[in-house]
């Protein structure tokens, strides 16, 4: 169900993943990262959370860009 939703949302927004990162791999990494962030918070560390927040800010900015600019910048991730 999550994989179907992610695949559909990627298509709706026009976001293209790198060929080596399938939606299934992206979903697995996202789920694992969520667990790591929770473990980090429990120990008082915040590096992973700061990284994810910075990445999401870059992603959200890229989604707001025109499609041609989005593709040109996609190799930065």
pLDDT level of residue 31 (50, 70, 90 thresholds): very high
CA-CA distance, 17 to 57, in Å (whole number)?
17
The average pLDDT across 72-76 equals 52
Alpha helix (H) ranges present in 1-77? 2-13, 23-42, 47-64, 67-73
pLDDT level of residue 75 (50, 70, 90 thresholds): low
23 Cβ neighbours under 8 A, 6+ residues apart: 3, 6, 7, 10, 17
Taking 90 as the threshold, does the pLDDT of residue 69 lie above it? no
């Amino acid at each position: 169900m999550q994989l179907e939703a992610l695949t559909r949302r990627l298509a709706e927004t026009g976001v293209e993943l790198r060929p080596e990162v399938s939606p299934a791999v992206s979903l697995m990494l996202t789920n694992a990262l969520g667990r790591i962030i929770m473990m980090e918070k429990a120990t008082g560390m915040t590096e992973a959370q700061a990284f994810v927040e910075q990445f999401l800010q870059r992603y959200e900015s890229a989604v707001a860009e025109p499609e041609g600019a989005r593709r040109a910048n996609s190799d930065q991730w």
